[in-house]
Structure 1
Amino acid sequence: MNTIDFFKLQSKNLHRDFKRRKLVLNNEFGELSYEYEPKHFDIELVIYDFNLDEENFTLMNAQHVIAQMAGFEKWTVLIKASEPDLKIAKILYEHQDVIDSLMWENYIAEAERMNQTNFDSETKLAICEQAFEMGVFDDSVLFDCYLLDKKYG
């Protein structure tokens, strides 16, 4: 599966998870709310962090959210990204429980500063792959994670 197809699948999974909801009566307050039964994402965390409209969530909204989770401003930026940048985004997306995009940007900026250069995307990809192979981020603080299969406890 190519990288774009991977992110398309993630968008579809997010949209499907969002649709796996039912309206329930909150007995404590007598209000109606949604209860979710997701398979892939911590939907309540996604809704909260991305300030989503539970009444009007479309596949396009899901694509936008996935693009932001992957470190891009929006979906159109993701689909126009270079293949090395997409591969880095996929690696970071799959490891969002141990590294966030800011931590990655700081890591690369420090490496560039130490080497007094600006790395191209291919070099950044090689550094990213090597860092994960070497376990550089294994001792990191755990981050909030939107993926259910990465939840701990």
Structure 2
Amino acid sequence: MNTIDFFKLQSKNLHRDFKTRKLVFNNEFGELSYEFEPKHFDIELVIDDFNLDAENFTLMKAQHVIAKMAGFEKWTILIKASEPDLKIAKILYENQHKVDQLMWLFYLAEVEEMNQTIYDSETKLAICEDAFEREYFDDSVSFDCYLLDKKYG
């Protein structure tokens, strides 16, 4: 599966997870509320972090959220990105339980500063792949993750 198709699938999975919304009676608060039965994403965390309107969540909005999770400002920027930049985004997306976008940017800036250069996208991809091969980033990072599991298909 090419990288764009991977992110399209993530958008569809996020949208499908939103569509699991059901109105239920909350005994604790004595009122009606919504619950989700997602397979791929922690929907309530996504709603809170991205300030989403669960009433009007469309596939287009899901694409925007996935683009943000992948480190892009919006979907149109993601689909126009170079293949190396998309591959980096996919690696970081699949390993968001180990490293977030900010940590990656700090790591990359440190490597560039150490070598007194600014790397092109191909070299950044090689650095990213090497960092994960050497397990530079590990599971000890403690921050919330949007994904429920490691299944991306």
Same fold? TM cut 0.5: yes
> CA separation of 1:145/1:18 partners in 2, compared to 1, >3 Å: closer, same or farther?
same
Contact 1:96-1:143 within 8 A present in 2 as well: no
Contact 2:23-2:33 within 8 A present in 1 as well: yes
Unaligned 5+ segments in structure 2 are: none
Kindly indicate whether structure 1 or structure 2 has the higher relative contact order, using CA contacts under 8 Å at least 6 residues apart. 2
Deviations 1:16-75 (A, max 9, x none): 000011101223333321111000111111111111101000000100000000000010
Query: How high is the TM-score relative to the length of structure 1?
Result: 0.94
Q: Name segments (4+ residues, structure 1) moved above 3 Å.
A: none
More moved, 140-149 vs 72-81: 140-149
Contact 2:97-2:144 within 8 A present in 1 as well: yes
Contact 2:4-2:79 within 8 A present in 1 as well: yes
Whole-Å separation in 2 of the counterparts to 1:130 and 1:99: 14
Q: Which residue of 2 aligns with 1:72?
A: 72
Q: Which residue of 2 aligns with 1:34?
A: 34
| Length, aligned pairs only | 150
More moved, 20-29 vs 117-126: 20-29
Q: Aligned-pair RMSD on alpha carbons?
A: 1.1
Note the C-alpha offset of 1:140.
Answer: 4.3
**Which runs of structure 2 are paired with 1:1-153 in the superposition (5 Å)?**
1-138=1-138, 140-150=140-150
Contact 2:64-2:74 within 8 A present in 1 as well: yes
Contact 2:97-2:139 within 8 A present in 1 as well: no
Unaligned 5+ segments in structure 1 are: none
Query: How high is the TM-score relative to the length of structure 2?
Result: 0.94
